[in-house]
């Protein structure tokens, strides 16, 4: 067995994936797992790492590569336990985009689900320069983050809601995410964190895309690779990249389970007028105040988000019943 500190010779992979968009060859699932494991373990040199990340950015990921990458990632991350007595499977909400123009309502979605008894794991970055991250809003609401997998499990069991940042959930993946600050470009890890399933038991993943090519790739991935023992997934176009319904025009939501896909919500073609009582600004403090008022019942829930909550609840209950 290769020692984790032994340098990994990545040139043979770069030679194949680095031939440009037309000439590059894709890796097998096993090759992708081997390469990404070495990247996560810190066995790839900085020079080779830059070459890999740029090559994959140009080439794009296949579903076999994504599956191999995820196998390596999930073998090196904290694993969580679903609450034992809930009638719902846990719901996983990734948050890696934040807000630039519209309020970030991802924490609201998580809290509304938890209020209904659905166990929710929110995970994302601690902060994002130039954006209002969900973690910023969490801090503004004076809510506690999970500092370990054990603490996340305890929060899910007692409160039905936990926010764990990616540097705690998967430190090696966090290191690869941070390379965006060096290279100036996103890399494959930005796709992977949005489809992580850290629970041992089946769970419902909420996933979003921003570019049409990722919709095609994720549709193929969930249709061909998602197994029932891992749960199900919802896929929608993101609201500024976040997997929460827009308060203006509701997005299409596609559900994936046991190799089948179905549209559980059609896209609304007509742009609805935005509710008048959205947060005053997109800053964390304004969004936090508004979110807490809404969770306390002092403001009405935006209709598109209320519909999204209902769809998630039905799916999470069905997954739990199937698992039993």
Q: Where are the domains of the chain?
A: 11-74, 91-323
Structure tokens at 233: 């997934």
Global pTM value = 0.94
* Equal fold, 11-74 vs 91-323: no
Calpha distance 111→96 (Å, rounded): 18
Q: Tokens 């809510």 label which residue?
A: 143
The third-level CATH classification (topology) of the domain covering 11-74 is 1.20.970
Alpha carbons within 13 A on the beta-carbon side of 223: 11
- Domain 91-323 CATH (choose: 3.30.70.20, 3.30.870.10, 3.30.1360.200, 3.40.1030.10): 3.40.1030.10
pLDDT digits (tens, 9 = 90+) for 235-266: 999 999 999 999 888 899 999 998 899 999 98
Coil, helix or strand for 276? coil
pLDDT digits (tens, 9 = 90+) for 10-40: 999 999 999 887 888 999 999 999 999 999 9
Calpha distance 18→56 (Å, rounded): 8
User: Is the alpha carbon torsion for 316, 317, 318, 323 positive or negative?
Assistant: positive
Q: Tokens 């934040």 label which residue?
A: 98
């Amino acid at each position: 067995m290769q020692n984790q500190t032994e340098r990994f010779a990545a040139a043979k992979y770069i030679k194949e994936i680095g031939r440009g968009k037309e000439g590059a060859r894709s890796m097998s699932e096993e090759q992708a797992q081997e390469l990404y494991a070495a990247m996560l373990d810190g066995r790839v040199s900085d020079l080779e790492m830059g070459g890999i990340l740029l090559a994959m950015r140009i080439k794009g990921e296949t579903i076999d590569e994504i599956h191999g990458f995820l196998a390596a990632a999930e073998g090196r991350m904290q694993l969580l336990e679903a609450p034992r007595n809930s009638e719902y499977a846990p719901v996983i909400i990734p948050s890696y985009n934040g807000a630039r123009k519209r309020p970030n309502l991802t924490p609201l979605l998580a809290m509304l689900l938890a209020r209904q008894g659905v166990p929710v794991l929110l995970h994302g970055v601690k902060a994002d320069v130039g954006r209002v991250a969900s973690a910023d809003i969490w801090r503004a609401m004076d809510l506690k983050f999970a500092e370990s997998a054990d603490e996340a499990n305890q929060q899910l069991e007692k409160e039905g809601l936990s926010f764990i940042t990616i540097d705690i959930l998967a430190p090696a993946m966090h290191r690869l995410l941070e390379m965006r600050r060096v290279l100036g470009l996103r890399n494959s890890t930005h796709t992977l964190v949005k489809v992580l399933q850290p629970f041992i038991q089946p769970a419902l993943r909420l996933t979003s895309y921003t570019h049409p090519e990722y919709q095609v790739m994720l549709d193929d991935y969930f249709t061909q690779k998602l197994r029932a023992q891992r749960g199900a997934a919802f896929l929608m176009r993101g609201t500024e990249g976040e997997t929460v319904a827009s308060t203006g025009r509701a997005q299409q939501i596609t559900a994936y389970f046991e190799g089948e896909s179905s549209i559980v919500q059609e896209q609304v073609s007509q742009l609805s007028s935005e509710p008048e009582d959205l947060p005053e600004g997109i800053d964390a403090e304004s969004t936090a105040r508004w979110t807490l008022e809404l969770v306390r019942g002092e403001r009405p829930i935006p209709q598109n988000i209320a519909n999204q909550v209902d769809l998630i609840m039905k799916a999470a209950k069905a997954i739990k019943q199937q698992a039993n």
